[in-house]
């Protein structure tokens, strides 16, 4: 499968989590941001535990995985309904959250290189909704 990255506009610093939640749940970005704003770290990021907990209460399947590169997770878990991958760069302890639908990764990072993302990022969580009406 040929993977593409579609750049998304950063509205706030470190808002990858908000963009991904908004796209997966089909809620407006501003509504999602307002809901989680009191829980943000000073740099604008949000704990992946809060993302997992919130989506887990909304009937999304939340999987924790280890030692899985992004390209492996895409081949194993990708659905056409959309999916969130929470991952870490092998050289950095900060998490990064992306939304993917079909073969397109939607990402707010300005300096993302597809090869680096696919092969240098370890996926730590996969979040998706299991439904009977796959597109």
Q: What's the rounded mean pLDDT across residues 91-97?
A: 82
**Would you state the pLDDT for residue 43?**
92
Q: Is the pLDDT of residue 135 over 60?
A: no
Q: How far is CA 82 from CA 25, 40, 106, 111, 135, in A?
A: 9, 25, 10, 23, 10
**Would you state the pLDDT for residue 53?**
96
pLDDT band at 110 (very low <50, low <70, confident <90, very high): low
In the chain, domain spans: 4-128
Please state which CATH class domain 4-128 belongs to: alpha beta
Tell me: the pLDDT tens digits for 2-49? 888 888 878 899 999 999 999 999 999 999 999 999 999 999 999 999
Tell me: the pLDDT tens digits for 49-92? 999 999 999 989 999 999 899 999 999 987 778 999 999 887 77
131 touches 83 (CB < 8 A) = no
Q: Report the C-alpha gap between 66 and 87 in whole angstroms.
A: 10
98 touches 8 (CB < 8 A) = no
What radius of gyration do the chain's Cα atoms show?
Answer: 14
What is the β-pairing status of strands 104-107 and 4-7? parallel
Could you give phi then psi for residue 116, rounded to 5 degrees? -65, -45
Length of the chain: 135
pTM for the predicted model, two decimal places: 0.90
Tell me: the pLDDT tens digits for 111-125? 667 778 888 889 999
């Amino acid at each position: 499968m040929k993977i593409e990255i579609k750049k998304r506009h950063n509205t706030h610093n470190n808002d990858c989590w908000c963009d991904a939640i908004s796209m997966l749940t089909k809620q407006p970005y501003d509504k999602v941001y307002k809901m989680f704003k009191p829980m943000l770290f000073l740099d604008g990021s949000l704990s992946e535990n809060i993302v997992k907990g919130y989506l887990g209460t909304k009937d999304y399947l939340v999987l924790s995985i280890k030692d899985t590169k992004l390209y492996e997770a895409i081949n194993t878990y990708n659905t056409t309904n959309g999916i969130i991958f929470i991952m870490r760069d092998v050289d950095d302890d900060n998490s990064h959250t992306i939304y993917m639908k079909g073969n397109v990764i939607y990402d707010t990072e300005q300096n993302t290189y597809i090869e680096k993302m696919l092969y240098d990022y370890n996926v730590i969580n996969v979040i998706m909704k299991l439904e009977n009406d796959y597109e």
